[in-house]
Amino acid sequence: MGRRGLYCDHCSKCTGQCPHGVEIPTLMRSYMYAYGYRNLAAAKETFELAGMTDLPCSDCGECPVKCTMGSDVRKRIGDIARIQNVADDFIV
């Protein structure tokens, strides 16, 4: 996997672009912890901070969010959302 789109530069330009109000910068940070740093505990903790319990991205035909770093936001959120199903004792 290339580095382009892996790390969020926290520009916040994505904030407000999601019609479902998803906390994109927090989820992108969670993705970075999991896939960039391989720190699943930090990824899960950060994901939980976003307060997301379901995946609203499945309701969108095409994601309207445009990331300045080139991230495929919908795919990244789908990838990291799986972490909520991993037991804490497995991660730690």
Alpha-carbon separation of residue 9 from 61, 67, 90 (angstroms): 26, 10, 30
> So what's the pLDDT on residue 33?
95
Contact 6, 35 (CB under 8 A): yes
> Does the pLDDT at position 1 exceed 70?
no
The model's pTM is 0.86
pLDDT in tens, 5-64: 577 888 889 999 999 888 999 999 999 999 999 999 999 999 998 888 777 887 788 899
pLDDT in tens, 61-83: 889 999 998 889 999 999 999 99
pLDDT of residue 45: 94
Q: What CA–CA distance (Å, rounded) separates 25 from 45?
A: 14
